[in-house]
Structure 1
Amino acid sequence: MKSILRFSLVILVFSCTNTSFSQKIKPKKVKENMQRVADWQIKNFKELYSNRKQPHHPLDWTNAALYVGMVKWAAMADDDAYYEWLKNIGEENEWQLYKRKYHADDHAVGQMYVELFRKYGDERMIAPTKEQFNFIMYHPSLSSLEWETPYHQDRWNWCDALFMSPPVWAKLYKETGEKKYLDFMVGEFKASTDFLFDKDENLYYRDERYFSQLDNGTKIFWSRGNGWVFAGLTNIMNELDPQSEGYKYFLDIYTKMAEKILKIQTPEGHWAMSLLGLDFYPTTETSGSSFYVYGLAWGINHGILDKATYEPAVKKGWNAMVGHVTKDGMLGYVQPIGAAPGKAWPDKTEVYGTGAFLSAGSEVYKLYGGE
């Protein structure tokens, strides 16, 4: 009798899970979920869940990642309220990047500035970014990419950086037509990739400290770290001519990562916090996973990835992410600030997780018929 009950329970769980994964995705519902998450995050903009005593500065990388997704949502929303919210942040901070001149994290807010410039056409919105990037080009950091060297983070020697700064350079190139921005960015991106990319696994180490480390016998590839890279590649390619050499360079990395990402998606629809260590990190993590959904959906929408092969992963991933949004609109299971696999909780979130979710929704919406 116990065996029959146990078997029945397994069937019930499987049926419920399978139903969740097979739910049809409707553009209207995608938009509703995005608005719910965006509205909750704006309402709770200064609430923190990463054990910090003070709110993140509005120009900090955490918020900049939020803005990357929020501006995508603003373009879909029925009015300009979200654009105005973002614009007010820029005005209050005089359109400056954050405090460290060379550090990629402090460049990330520039992505939002360029998008607002595209909408409003106000040169003030990108002038400080151009000035700072011009300085960097003419006074490039000579630091080594090795972790222990002085001023090492003046260059992109950790994989998160490839989401933060390179898309800003690509956007400036697109807006100004000045190839110097593209050439500098591609050169630095290649140096970082040659240093951090594992050609056997087609994934990025977070930084040099993880080259020789193992976690329960597996190489350590941090999910959100690789999510940063995958989304960053997507945001760079959005700015480039598909026939250009630069585009082809980024496309090669993107397609290799996409193939790997597809293979290691979990049965539940997310990606393990240590990408090769699902057995040791079974807890859902939504920030890295949302970035994978974003990048994969983008690839299908642009005819790069085969829809029959990759769409089931996008559907399963998006449904999993939506399943971790509370009734009020908070995205749960976002890993706190870190640099390696760790823990996440259903009642804890972070602004960058919301940004990743909104980015994912913007491409899922298009994939399933939204305009």
Structure 2
Amino acid sequence: MHTTILPKPPLPAGLALALCCALLTACGPDGKAVPRESGQWPEGRSPREVGGRVVETFLSNPFRIHKASGMIHYVETCTWQGALRFAKQTGDPALTERLVRRFDPLFGEQAHYISKPLNVDTTVFGSVPLELYMRTGDKRFLKIGLDLADAQWTTPADQSKLDDTAREAVTRGLSWHTRFWIDDMYMITMLQTQAYRATGDNKYLDRAALEAVAYLDKLQQPNGLFHHAPDAPFFWGRGNGWFAAGMSELLRALPAGHPNRARIMAGYQKMMATLLRHQDAEGKWHQLIDDSSSWQESSCTGMFTYAFATGVKHGWLDAATYGPAARKGWLALAGWINPDGAIRDVCEGTNALNDRNHYLNRGRVTGDLHGQAPVIWCANALME
């Protein structure tokens, strides 16, 4: 088993101390970091406690299957991968084993649930077996993951079945899955970045970076936020959350000298500055980010908090400014979670549509994995 994740340089002492105090308020009188689980969070709201509860809720349920495709739903993928990282962060080999064993039915009677590379939503599934390969060294996982990652850039022989956007994308070296919806930025980025981490092959990282720049150029607006799609000019919360999380994942992997890193970092930092201005007094964000009268939505709050915490931990964002905002976002998020580990006020699945009321009137769901996954991601970032 091996992984090629680039080593992270140590933070300068001053930044590390600022991060500790601003993000975690977990510095002792001598300036040294106090363990995160030592009572520095309100009772029941530490990342370890909350993350563990949500992971157990995930494990207690069967696979989430997409009704239309009959394959594993992308939110199952996003939650599963986050849970695997949580097990690593907490040093829990028993939990890791349970998460590995969750895949067992897919090698047997439930193999038909394994996703096929139809689009971004089905193909992102490959990121889970790639994570499992990095933990176990089992090459069955590697094959499933790489087959999906490579299929995302293997254009079908019959291009007449592609729409105009996809055909143009292929001529630019982009994936034939390109459709310029903001959700895609996480789905494509995560799979290709995972393939890079599992193999060390730079082609996967280059693909993800090229795609990110194309989406930045197409969808990011002067205020730093993103329209849901070119024909859906609204700053939908979770859609922007997918983009924030996707850039965070990619920047963690991109080396300093990569030719597209500066462009992606500029887009990320511009977005974070605007998100900071739109975080409300409770630490939450809203269904439409720029409309404070729209309802407070938990999944985007989780995704933006994850992006803030990741940026502070890696030194991309000012710790004194964004650290308190990340902490505030986490506490707001934790307050949304029921005792059974289900999170409330999650926007239901939402297609792009040029209709403001389409976004304002979306249903609010409790316990949906769209909301559970970002909670686990946040817990991981805060414990990193």
TM-score normalised according to structure 2 size: 0.76
State the Cα distance separating 1:270 from its structure 2 match.
0.7
Give yes or no for contact 2:64–2:73 (8 Å, CA) kept in 1: no
Structure 2 Cα separation of the partners of residues 262 and 333 of structure 1:
21
Residue 84 of structure 1 and its aligned partner are, at CA, apart by: 2.7
Query: What SS does structure 2 have at the residue aligned with 1:267?
Result: coil
| Larger CA deviation: 94-103 vs 261-270 | 94-103
Q: 2:314 maps to which residue? A: 302
Q: Mark the CA change 1:30 to 1:277 in structure 2 (over 3 Å): closer, same or farther.
A: same
**TM-superposed deviation, 1:309:** 0.8
| Unmatched tracts of structure 2, length 5 or more | 1-22, 27-34, 38-45, 170-174, 353-358
Name the structure 1 match of 2:224. 202
Select the residue among 39, 49, 56 that pairs with 1:32.
49
2:128 is aligned, of 98, 112, 115, to 112
CA separation of 1:361/1:99 partners in 2, compared to 1, >3 Å: closer, same or farther? closer
Alpha-carbon distance between aligned partners in 1 of 2:330 and 2:55, rounded to the nearest angstrom: 16
Measured after TM superposition, the shift of residue 61 of structure 1 is 0.8
Find out whether 1:264 has 2:264 as its counterpart: no
1:206/1:225 contact within 8 Å kept: yes
Q: Map residues 203-352 of structure 1 onto 2, 5 A cutoff.
A: 203-211=225-233, 220-279=234-293, 281=294, 283-339=295-351, 341-342=359-360, 348-352=366-370
Write the distance in 2 (CA, Å) between the matches of 1:288 and 1:79.
28
Structure 1 residue 180, shift from structure 2 partner? 2.5
Q: Which residue of 2 aligns with 1:19?
A: none
Instruction: Give CA-to-partner distance per residue, 1:148-205, whole Å, 9 cap, x none.
Output: x9xx98314211011112121122223323232233333333333322221x121111
1:290-332 Cα offsets, whole Å, 9 max, x none, are 0111110011111111111111211111110111111222211
Alignment-derived partner of residue 90 in structure 1? 103
Q: Partner letter of residue 33 of structure 1?
A: V
Q: 2: distance between equivalents of 1:108 and 1:137?
A: 13
Aligned partner of residue 126 in structure 1, secondary structure: helix
In structure 2, how many angstroms separate the alpha carbons of the residues matched to 1:309 and 1:164? 29
Match of 2:188 in 1: 165
Counterpart of 1:105, as a letter, is: D
* 2:371 counterpart letter in structure 1: G
**Structure-2 change in CA distance of 1:328 and 1:102 (3 Å):** closer
CA distance in 2, matches of 1:114, 1:102: 19
Partner of 1:259, secondary structure, is helix
Letter in 2 for 1:240: L
**In 2, distance between residues paired with 1:136 and 1:58?**
17
Instruction: Label 1:284 to 1:46 Cα distance change in 2 as closer, same or farther (>3 A).
Output: farther
Matches within 5 A, 1:61-210: 61-94=74-107, 98-139=114-155, 143-145=163-165, 154-198=177-221, 200-210=222-232
Question: Structure 2 counterpart of 1:328, which letter?
Answer: D
Q: 1:354 aligns with which of 361, 366, 372?
A: 372
Secondary structure of 2:266's counterpart equals: helix
Compared with structure 1, are the counterparts of its residues 136 and 299 closer, same or farther at alpha carbon in structure 2 (3 Å cutoff)? Answer: closer
Per-residue CA deviation, residues 225-244 of structure 1 (Å, 9 max, x unaligned), is 00001011111122221332
Query: Root-mean-square deviation (CA), in Å?
Result: 3.2
Q: Quick check: 2:73–2:121 contact (8 Å CA) kept in 1?
A: yes
Give the letter aligned to residue 312 of structure 1. P
Give the secondary structure class of the aligned counterpart of 1:274: coil
Residue type at the aligned position of 1:365: M
The aligned amino acid for 1:88 is R
Tell me: CA distance 1:114–1:286, structure 2 relative to 1, closer, same or farther (3 Å).
same
Give the share of equivalent positions with the same residue, in percent: 23
One-letter identity of the residue aligned with 1:188: E
Amino acid at match of 1:104: V
Q: Equivalents in 2 of 1:333, 1:81: separation in Å?
A: 32
Answer yes or no: is the 8 Å Cα contact 1:271–1:285 preserved in 2: yes
Checking the alignment, whether the CA contact within 8 Å between 1:102 and 1:155 is kept in structure 2 is no
1:130-165 deviation line (CA, Å, top 9, x unaligned): 23433443427764338xx9xx98314211011112
Check the 8 A contact 1:166/1:232 in 2, yes or no. yes
SS in 2 for 1:108: helix
Pair 347,171 (structure 1): closer, same or farther in 2 beyond 3 Å: closer
Stretches of structure 1 that go unaligned for 5 or more consecutive residues are: 1-21, 212-219, 367-371
Conserved 8 A contact 2:57-2:340: yes
Note closer, same or farther for the CA distance 1:138–1:78 as it changes in structure 2 (3 Å cut): closer
Distance 1:125 1:299 in 2: 30
The code of the aligned residue for 2:225 comes to L
User: Are 2:208 and 2:250, in contact at CA under 8 Å, matched by a contact in 1?
Assistant: no
Contact 1:201 1:260 in 2 (8 A): yes
Secondary structure at 1:204's aligned position in 2? coil
Please say if residues 24 and 36 of structure 2, whose CA atoms lie closer than 8 Å, have aligned partners that are also in contact: no
Q: CA deviation at 1:45?
A: 4.4
